[in-house]
Chain A
Amino acid sequence: AMLMPANAESIKLGYSAPFLTDPFQAIMANQTLKAVKDAGMEAMPATNANGDAGKQATDIRNLISAGAKVLIVNPTDSQAIVPVLEFAASKNVPTVLIDIAPAKGKSAMIVRADNKGIGGKACEALGAAIGGKGKVLSLMGDQATTNGRDRTTGFNECMKAKYPDVTIIEQPTYWKTDKATSAAQTVVTTTPDLTAIYMQSDSVMLAGVLNVLKSAGKLTKVGEPNHIFLATVDGTPYALEKIREDLLDVAVAQPLDLYAKFGAFYAKAAAEGKTFTAGPTDHNSEIVPVGDNLMDYLPATVVTKANASDPSLWGNQTEK
């Protein structure tokens, strides 16, 4: 079905970001656009929805009317993106979604890691390390975002099932450093028997939490007695460095590099009219059907001191 190679004129690709004030999103936007260019497509400037689902719908319509032939979308919300996907489909513009799966609607491919699974992995690493009991501070992201909710649900469900004796102290932080830091400070100083902290984003929370522990005199190295176990999500370069320094126990690294790489790959393929089938891939993942769509379910890696220097982690790739 490749009678018309689309490279007669280069393929224009639009990238819609949900917001850019989170470093994770910012890096993903940059890396994806780079991968798009590497794949020989023409990247239009990314759009920034500033966390507003309505704005994202606007952005995508604008990208399409500006001539985008294919879209990579990182949705602000799995539901609110549905009519936008329908609109794109009606204009014959294929879409690849990364990081978040849509609730419905047609897309060429979904590239994501399982955020509930990420929460679960953090829970398992953490639960085992503290011996299934104690008090855990859970610094939640913005619960109005799908990822924030999934990381909460995955963590809480796993805790309930596997470590029912653990007490969870939940604090909403809205992906805001100052809120996370203040909540951590209050809880750390008022809970002498705190055993662990779960952070839903190391790019937003880790620096502040380490600082809180330090000023409270509770910052100890991994393995020392009374060490407060720290688990984070994202796996930013900073987090990997702190793991190497024995200050952070576990980071569940998102496959950000793979999001970028395969987002671009599938986008190009979709623009060229290719279709995909379910089954294992060449990159250690599996394409699974979800509803009418296919999803390349990328693995999230649990990073500890043992593998913190692994060059395949995205956090080890940004430095050049």
Chain B
Amino acid sequence: MSAVETFAAEAHGINKRFGPIEVLHDVGISIPVGDARALVGRNGAGKSTLVGLLTGLYGANAGEIRLGGRPAPSLGDRQGWRERVACVYQRWMVIPHLTVAENLFLNNQPRNGLGLVDSRRLREESIAVLDDWGLDVAPDLDAWRLTVEQRQIVEIARALLQGSRFIILDEPTAELERREVNRLFERIRGLQEQGVTFLYISHHLEEIYEICRTVTVMRDGRVVADARLDDLPKDRLVAAMVGDFAASGAGRKSGDSASKAQMAPGLDIGGLTLKDSLEDINLSVHCGECVGLAGLAGSGKDKIAEAVAGLLAPDAGTIAIHGTKTPLGDVGAMRAAGVGYVARDRHVSGLFPLMSIGDNLTTTVLPKLGPFGFVSTGRQSDMVDRQIAELGIVATSGSQPIGELSGGNQQKAMVGRALASDPKVLVLAAPTQGVDIASKDALYRIINAARDRGMAVLVVSDDLDELAICDRVEVIFRGRLTRSFARGWNDQDVVAAIEGLY
């Protein structure tokens, strides 16, 4: 070890503004070569912004960034950045209409003697990579056809392929299955042994203890702690993240009040069948009950949610709300019947990124906000202010475009929209994805409160934390409901059932 420690990345005195809003205040971070650094903080703390600065996505308003001991390249020198840092961003960075193979080797294609892209080698090398990651897709499939999980793996694989000695991962596991997470971790460990430096962001703190050595904690755009993880037990880490706010139960938080299921029918799904996806699904959720629906990607769990939301018309079956059958495949009718829905993919199916937070929160309740379809701005902003406070959305005001919020805060707004119409049935697909540990708690509390008011809640997820608030968990495997677990299950059994191992 030389006397002067070399750093894979350093940032000193960084200030970053978006328009008039300063989101990073005098941030400094130094990551020595070979370190595995975790970056944690609540939603909107500024983690992704810092990542953007460390990878040259945008420039800082003040401060210095150094990579590998040298000053960072100019913003225009994309190749320069690429040589020194690889990154999996929180936002998707795939090119939808290029093939999987081209996405894997974007701007890095194997070339033949003429300097042209060698499509045969491109295909072969891609197949090798895909097999390596256990991804069963054709290399010439257009990337937009990939599922969320597959897309995420392609991005991770691409970043690791780049051969960079410094790799940043911004919530890479938010969309992944356990099996894939394990595969990723194996790979990260392998690279760590070769001396590759990592900066790792996640809201799953157990992951951080699993693969990171040190941690930097951010709060409200400032670095509040730098420590070795060995010295920082989980409760203190959480305390550092949330500041003076005392986290009650760090993440895993079951419903505090025992279920008061009223046995009145809330949501009744009978004989739901969809070609190649669902077979005779019967599921009911009582008023005041919260049921979890767990399954792998492609198991059909999201299809059930979409059917209840009216987004797809099943081939057979019935859906009843409070005992009344509803027309299938009609979103408007489902809303009218009292279904509130949070879609799995908020970017595609949830957000109106350019519209204000207020407009996003009140999309489904505008008719209630004034006569003849006119919206009373006063009533709208009252409602919005109340919701922002209840949900703990971090924003400058209700009129800020929601696209400017951090991922977790956007997700809170999605839950807020579903609740705004005071529905009878609440269907939530992965409702707390990307939400920080303390905000998760708040969301669980809100969901529990809704349930206690008599709402029937269906949580569609394979996240054990999310399932933990449920009174009952139904497991779906390959389009069929296979097991049901009452409160008090143990995690291993549920996981085994999800994976199809009885």
In the complex, A touching B (Cβ < 8 A)? no
Residues of A that sit less than 8 Å from B by CB: none
